[in-house]
Amino acid sequence: MLSFNLGLLLVSLTGAVVVPEPFKRPEVIRWGASSVELERALAAQCPKLKTRRIDPPFLANVKNAQLQIDCDGFQFRHRGRHVEFVIRDDRLVMVWLMVDGEEQEAILRDMRKAMGEPTRSNGKYIAFERQRTAWRFKPAEILFYSPELDGEVSGWFE
């Protein structure tokens, strides 16, 4: 007798094997890391890496400078991605990880499995505020943010 365990393996309509993937924040994201620490940590993970100043800054309460480290080729869910590491006054506070819109269903499924039901949702975001993570619809991307931004970012999800 032949049996299948659908919990282990799914097959898409195209016949491709689809394995649900655990969702977790990439380990390189360490809140409060300096730009030098991040550049060092990302060097082996980003085939293309560029640090630039954001002027004017889009974050509130920037006293000295807002920088952004742009990383191309960062591996996430078995694909090279563009990731933006946002640094306020030499402390990592936010990360935007670009994905494709057609990945929305699978990524949101895996986010819910890992983090539970979203705390808020609007036409722009689906937020998992306890984990400081959100799905952004346009452009399709995942937001990770530090505790320092709780007050600032929460308004985006109303």
pLDDT digits (tens, 9 = 90+) for 63-101: 999 999 999 999 999 999 999 999 999 999 999 999 999
Residue 56 is assigned to a structural domain of this protein: yes
Q: DSSP 3-state assignment of 18?
A: strand
Residue 1 is assigned to a structural domain of this protein: no
pLDDT at 22: 85
- Measured torsion, CA atoms of residues 92, 105, 23, 143, in degrees rounded to the nearest 10: 10
User: Residue 77: which domain range?
Assistant: 23-157
Burial 133-154 (b: 16+ CB within 10 A, else e): bbbbeeeebbbbbbebbeeebe
Residue 98 is assigned to a structural domain of this protein: yes
Mean pLDDT (the chain) is 90
Average pLDDT over residues 128-141: 97
Residue 7 is assigned to a structural domain of this protein: no
User: Distance between CA 147 and CA 142 in Å, rounded?
Assistant: 16
Residue 17 is assigned to a structural domain of this protein: no
Is the pLDDT higher at 8 or at 66? 66
Residue 79 is assigned to a structural domain of this protein: yes
Please give the tally of structural domains in the chain. 1
Tell me: pLDDT of 15 over 60.
no
Tell me: pLDDT of 9 over 80.
no
Residue 16 is assigned to a structural domain of this protein: no
pLDDT at 19: 55
Ranges 7-11, 23-27, 57-61: which has the least confidence: 7-11
pLDDT band for position 116 (cuts 50, 70, 90): very high
Could you tell me which residues come within 8 angstroms of residue 91 by beta carbon, excluding any fewer than 6 positions away?
Answer: 31, 32, 33, 34, 146, 148
Residue 121 is assigned to a structural domain of this protein: yes
